[in-house]
Amino acid sequence: DTIVPPAITNAHNAVAGEGHILVNLGLVHTDGRVFEYWRSLLDAMASIRPLYSWYVWDKLFPVPGDTRGRLAICHEWIFHFAKAPRSLNKTKECKHAGKYHSNSGQRTKEGDVKGWWGLDTPCQDTKVPGSVIRTASVLSNTERTGHPAQYSLLFVAELIEPVTNVGESVYDPFLGSGTTLI
């Protein structure tokens, strides 16, 4: 039998209907190998919400210390569980905002060049964020609380803002240093 952790059960109960659940997990090594502890989470979640996608948190700075022959770890995963898709909020600024598409098109899977749908129209101001979130754990000493796994306000905003609308609930079963609450 798969045991569903209480925090996941509480999260499931807290998100009504088609709510989305995002879970952040890092890399762990035991006995010289990667310990795939997240597999039990994925199995447990299958009965609650299917794995919808996953993302990478690029923490920008590797964890210091002896890497024991591995590249220095500077990322974690964010698993996204959902029963159904939802429209995401476009929260990232487009670097080409207001400029006009100048490319003649892109290739189809058959190799033919297909025209851009937005040719001769200006690029939008904002877009849906990408699947790699690039921000440090804590951005400044004023954010630092001493919590061993603290998130920066920017990291939490990068996750919450695209998948929620004003007035919707956000449930953090751990809350830690309170970054999600802020």
pLDDT in tens, 39-86: 888 888 888 888 999 999 998 887 777 888 888 888 999 999 988 888
Tokens 């310990």 correspond to 35
Nearest 5°: phi and psi at 30? Answer: -140, 140
Is pLDDT above 50 for 164? yes
The more confidently predicted of residues 44 and 10 is 44
CA 144, CA 127: separation in Å to the nearest integer?
30
What's the mean pLDDT in 82-94? 84
What's the mean pLDDT in 1-24? 61
For 62: left if phi > 0, alpha if psi spans -120 to 50, otherwise beta; the answer is beta
* Amino acid identity at 136: A
What pLDDT is stored for residue 2 in this prediction? 43
Determine if the pTM surpasses 0.85. no
